[in-house]
Amino acid sequence: MLKYQSIQELVSAAEERGLKISELVLRDQAEAMDQTQEALYERMRKSFEVMRESVAAGQKRELRSMSGLTGGEGWRMKQYTESHNGGLCGSFLSGAIARALAVAGCNASMGRIVAAPTAGSCGILPGCLVSLYEERGMAERDIVMSIFTAGAFGMVIAAKASIAGAEGGCQAECGSAAAMAAAALVELMGGTPTQCADACAIAVANQLGLVCDPVAGLVEIPCIKRNVSGLMIAFSSADLALAGVGPKIPADECVDAMREVGNALPAALRETAGGGLAATPTGQKLREQVFGK
């Protein structure tokens, strides 16, 4: 049985058996949960279905959050992408941005989402995977299997560091989500288990120190747009790993550094809305707009 205490454990076990990390994890989790592999796969397939549904729901023009502070970002980005020939990022990445915004917006408006690994970072993994499914025509089974890889990396990060903004800042939420997505993307593109770990390391390293400073204490500003940054880091980290551009610092050491940085963050920068953007004059005005003086 896997212990999910290190990234290297996953890589070594997969390589020794000649398996993808997803195949290894599916077998292990089916045994641990006393379920068949197909039953567990079907549960994950339904999660991917919810991801696709949240993309669709979040791209509605009339979508608004309960606070009224956000809404329609996914729709606006989708419209921009279609009317500006993909914009600066090109149609694929711009479309992925729209999907990430849509899922995060769906969450803010009390819609149904998959926490991947948290609600605050829910747009990153779906933004990546749904885009590959809808734009690149990747097989559903391959994409669903890659979520097992993402989940395994998330389990290790949760055990070694944290996935909670209140404990480790936004690096623990969007940083973890980007790392999970990067690993999944590498596997989908035919990369090795080692390259999955490399992508994870690069993604974590590029979001170390990211604070959690939600305006008015709500998972909207800047959280929704940080999902976009995490998505872009996931794609770029995956491409770097696939190109053989290694991280230099191993994934497990990057995750350990994430824990240390998170512990060093003051309470004001750990989801308390006491610092960062939440404490700016405009951030305070938005809080009063929602909750009054």
DSSP readout, 102-168? HHHHHHHTT-----SS-STTTTHHHHHHHHHHHHS---HHHHHHHHHHHHHHHHHHHHHS-S-HHHH
- Output the pTM of the full model: 0.97
Nearest-angstrom CA–CA distance, 87 and 183: 27
Rounded Cα–Cα distance for residues 64 and 99 (Å) = 16
Query: Which tokens is 58 given?
Result: 């979040």
Each residue's pLDDT, cut to its tens digit, for the chain (293 residues) gives 999 999 999 999 999 999 999 999 999 999 999 999 999 999 999 999 999 999 999 999 999 999 999 999 999 999 999 999 999 999 999 999 999 999 999 999 999 999 999 999 999 999 999 999 999 999 999 999 999 999 999 999 999 999 999 999 999 999 999 999 999 999 999 999 999 999 999 999 999 999 999 999 999 999 999 999 999 999 999 999 999 999 999 999 999 999 999 999 999 999 999 999 999 999 999 999 999 98
- For residue 118, being part of any structural domain is answered with yes
- Contact assessment for residue 146 and residue 129, using Cβ atoms and an 8 Å cutoff: yes
Residue 186 inside a domain? The answer is yes
Whether residue 139 is contained in a domain is answered as: yes
Tell me the CA distances in angstroms from 263 to 100, 155, 211, 255, 266, one per residue in order.
Answer: 28, 19, 12, 12, 8
What is the tally of structural domains in the chain? 1
What pLDDT, on a 0 to 100 scale, did the predictor assign at position 293? 84
For residue 201, the enclosing domain spans: 7-291
Rounded CA separation 16/49 (Å): 32
pLDDT at 140: 98
* pLDDT at site 96: 98
d(CA 65, CA 58): 11
- φ/ψ of 270, rounded to 5, equals -125, 70
Q: Return d(Cα 92, Cα 85) in angstroms, integer.
A: 10
Token pair belonging to 13: 């076990």
Q: Tell me whether residue 1 is in a domain.
A: no
DSSP lists the bridge partners of residue 252 as none
Identify the pLDDT of residue 57. Answer: 98
Q: From CA 22, how far away is CA 136, in angstroms rounded?
A: 20
Q: Is residue 6 classed as helix, strand or coil in its secondary structure?
A: coil
Quick check: is 146 in a domain? Answer: yes
How far out from the chain centre does Cα 105 lie? 14
Contacts of 36 (CB under 8 A, 6+ apart): 30
Integer Cα distance of 109 and 102 in angstroms: 10
| Domain contains 202 | yes
